[in-house]
Amino acid sequence: MIRYPISGLLNPEECYDYLLHVLYPQGLRCKNGHPLPPDQAPHDRRRAPLVDYRCRVCSNVFNLFTNSVWAGTHYNCTTVVLVMRGFVQGIVTGQIGWR
């Protein structure tokens, strides 16, 4: 049996887009509910594609995981998608990277 991490097969940008659709179907918002303007550039790009934005209304910094169970996590979008997939399938989290 050949074993390799499935995370290497997933596109980080597609995982971000999927999570954006699942977590914010009405569009990304800050923790106070202010929508992200379509022309706004990221505040911090160090974890791209998971970037931080600064709200133009209240100055709060937020990202895709703000106001979700993933708030404050250091996982990337690919890992979060795999963990969510594992939850749905009932897989033990220690096995998720190998399926």
pLDDT tens-digit map of 82-96: 888 888 888 766 655
pTM score, whole prediction: 0.80
**Does residue 27 belong to any structural domain of this protein?**
yes
- Give the pLDDT of residue 5: 64
Condensed to tens digits (0 to 9), the pLDDT of residues 8-39 reads 678 999 999 999 999 999 999 999 999 999 99
C-beta pairs of 90-97 under 8 Å, 24+ apart in sequence: 97/5, 97/6, 97/7
**Does residue 42 belong to any structural domain of this protein?**
yes
**Does residue 1 belong to any structural domain of this protein?**
no
Query: Residue 61 belongs to what domain range?
Result: 6-98
CA distance between the termini of the chain: 12
